[in-house]
Amino acid sequence: MRLLAAALTLATSISCSAQTPQTTDRANSPTQTQSTLPAATNAEIAHRLMLVTSERDLDKLFFGDVAFVLKYGTPEDTAKLFAAVQNKPILMLGALVAGAGDSSVRVSWDDGIDPATPAFLFTFDQPLLARPPTGAKVVLTGTYAAYSKEPFEITLSHATFGPLPHTLFLARKYWWPPFFTAGLP
């Protein structure tokens, strides 16, 4: 194996040293016939994500990736992904509260694309005793229940929430209530 690697290295160095400065300049400069490829669309990126993720790993995708595919993916990709994540629990640290009702909290997540859009709706089994204020960062858990494309929204059921701890170290050491991990494996 080492002999093969050494031979390939030697062959590559010989072919590179045989090039003149003019051929190197031609290889590195774009010509009239060369063109740049257009940037991939969000739909293409979502489809590529589904292609490179195995079916057994679909339920392990980060919730931001799940939201991206559900929002921009093809109907086949979104159906396949939602079938894999439906009734699976998630833990969302640092979600920004966009609004709260008697038994639901609408949050947004900074996904780098459209962070101001509240895309997640967590519904609680019982009415909330205390509503989180709009703009607060909280920790939420829930299970994927449904989604809609227009307007885009992912509904999570059996939700629990708590304030975002200042640091995870302090939270684990001094203040980590059991409801943060309720229902999580």
Distance CA 113, CA 42 (A): 10
Residue-wise pLDDT for 94-149, tens only, equals 888 888 888 989 888 765 556 566 778 899 998 888 888 888 888 889 999 999 98
Q: Residue 33: helix, strand or coil by DSSP?
A: coil
Cβ within 8 Å of residue 40, ≥6 positions away: 48
Other beta carbons within 10 angstroms of residue 105's beta carbon come to 26
**Entry pTM:** 0.66
pLDDT grade for 46, boundaries at 50, 70 and 90: very high
Q: Which fold has domain 87-185?
A: OB fold (Dihydrolipoamide Acetyltransferase, E2P) (2.40.50)
Amino acid at 82: F
Domain boundaries, the chain: 41-85, 87-185
Confidence of residue 81 (pLDDT cuts 50, 70, 90): very high
